[in-house]
Structure 1
């Protein structure tokens, strides 16, 4: 996973006046938890967080302070101004290379579902997956291949399992599925090697009505 460096400085005071002064100067007050002792209060320029906040991707963070200290962390919480959307406050949590962490990783679908080619619509149930693993093993995003999905079939989280991380969702959690639409094209192509094998897609994954439609054609 990629890392973003944030250069900041320790906060000498954490009172309301000092916090307001920081924001007026274009600084964002932050807190780093998980460090030895009390949480670390620091501040950094708001522009430094643009590539961390305003992106669909996730990153780890290297916090470098003017005092020479450096910490690896992940973003834990963020507060925005209700009107201007300016960043008001950010919370971070220190991480270590040898200790697993839990993060929400975005899902990127790959390919065009067979059911979509036949007039169906790909519906997303999840855009991110909560996974747990070592910081160095977590990916920037998780690839979900939807090419073999027919109309009525679903893609479960078990399809994107990896030895690098453990998915924190039940096995029957659906990532996406191909639903019917008004423009349906009957699939008359014969089964080939690229299709989903019968034992790979349980009958429960095909929506009710597909079997009945097949019987009516006979």
Structure 2
């Protein structure tokens, strides 16, 4: 981890992602940003996302709506709305700039007019760098991830970077890989293009479930 005293720009941030590093702050009120290059990297193998029977039932019954990029800023704010967060004011502004440039995207879970969960990240080539997610209802973040993985597969992405592993992510199929292996996957993903916004939203929950393996 190395602190950065230079003025960050969206292009510098994209260059960092392409090199395998990402920024964080110690907390929301810390003006300094440091670069992170984990020895072991969290990734989601896109063919191993785990939709349990209980999650599938909730997806069928909840009646929530899925939207893409309709409230990117709201998703980032939702992710930062916790006791401890690495999203400071500069990071918040940088990702909003990346969103305006078409490099950062959000997948959102809505209950009528209420934003109840979501995930956001950065895209380069065929890589999706997941930044953070939040949930205001039971399993809303899991539902967001299920739809996100389905979108990444449909759009032709090959790398879903989660940065770190948590028990929550591991329960859904995320794994850790060595830094060298991650760099190989990243290099391959950057040689081609994928469009996060291209796939239409699924016509039904069943369409998503049929494309993803369910286990108990």
TM-score by length of 2: 0.25
More strand by share: 1
More helix by share: 2
TM-score by length of 1: 0.25
